[in-house]
Structure 1
């Protein structure tokens, strides 16, 4: 019975399309997390639990937190707060929530089924964390270091792209103070 595999693949495809078509970076990241969780579910279904756990811990956990921090570090200013509030509707959360529910249903079904002996295995032996760590830090050490340098370079580039001019920051602070004073004045008049 392969319907859980196809269902998780469909969730991964739909959420990945939403990543590409979403114009708000935070909403795209939310859909990307759902996509990565679906791929982890696929790993669990095909009999690679260690790869699925790494997918959740490394990608859906650590890398997504890094992406969220980079988006927050861009500091787009106070003018985007109102725009973000207008985008934060139930429709925004409906798709990721629905796809996450599908993932949860497949997960509960797989756990309740309890028959893990009939799952298709891709390899002949189970590869544990020690074997993966040994391979990564011996044979593939150069590739691990190159990936680390690329991530560091991307973080530095995002910081410099998002760095704002001090004069522009002062204007944003003055504008927000003016807006606060206007709102306080209107509340005084009404009160």
Structure 2
């Protein structure tokens, strides 16, 4: 049950990310989707992958996304934009999905393994060997891709606001 509930929350939150017009609302749903994915990892017996999901994606990457949104500062004055972010209608959906995740997590903590057997745990050594062994090039390419996206977003934002120097 926790797996199904977490998976449904992840799918619904991801759908909401794609369909939101306001970037901050989409980011709120993205945080919920990433937390739901971490719950799925935990239920599947990969607590280390779940913790990495929360720390790296729901933490660091989301800070980067919020930084880019703040840096672009497109359009309306700050006070009007901040009032729209604080509006309850922007927080109701992510709040409800987060409450569902909390219920699934509480249920997962109470229920033991379905078959009663031990759950295989992935440790840090296995993850490190996988990431920096055969996939070291992919990890480095992903970091360059994130940097290129940040620079592109900054350049596009400056162009839209008319601050580009000829």
TM-score, normalization by structure 2: 0.86
Instruction: State the match for 1:159 in structure 2.
Output: 154
Structure number, greater radius of gyration: 1
* Secondary structure of 1:16's aligned partner: helix
Counterpart selection for 2:27 from 21, 26, 29: 29
1:89: Cα distance to partner?
Answer: 2.2
Larger RCO: 1 or 2 (CA < 8 Å, sep 6+): 2
Q: Does residue 79 of structure 1 match 2:77? A: yes
Counterpart selection for 1:45 from 43, 48, 51: 43
Counterpart selection for 1:115 from 112, 116, 121: 112
Q: Distance in 2 between matches of 1:8 and 1:35?
A: 9
Give 5+ residue unaligned stretches, structure 1: 168-191
Q: Distance in 2 between matches of 1:82 and 1:37?
A: 29
Equivalent pairs counted in the alignment come to 162
1:138: Cα distance to partner?
Answer: 2.5
1:29: Cα distance to partner?
Answer: 0.3
Give 5+ residue unaligned stretches, structure 2: none
Given the superposition, is the C-alpha separation of residues 11 and 114 from structure 1 closer, same or farther in structure 2, using an over 3 Å criterion?
Answer: closer
Counterpart selection for 2:101 from 100, 103, 107: 103
Q: Distance in 1 between matches of 2:122 and 2:47?
A: 10
**Could you tell which deviates more after superposition, 130-139 or 28-37?**
130-139
TM-score, normalization by structure 1: 0.75
Given the superposition, is the C-alpha separation of residues 115 and 95 from structure 1 closer, same or farther in structure 2, using an over 3 Å criterion?
Answer: same
Instruction: State the match for 2:137 in structure 1.
Output: 142
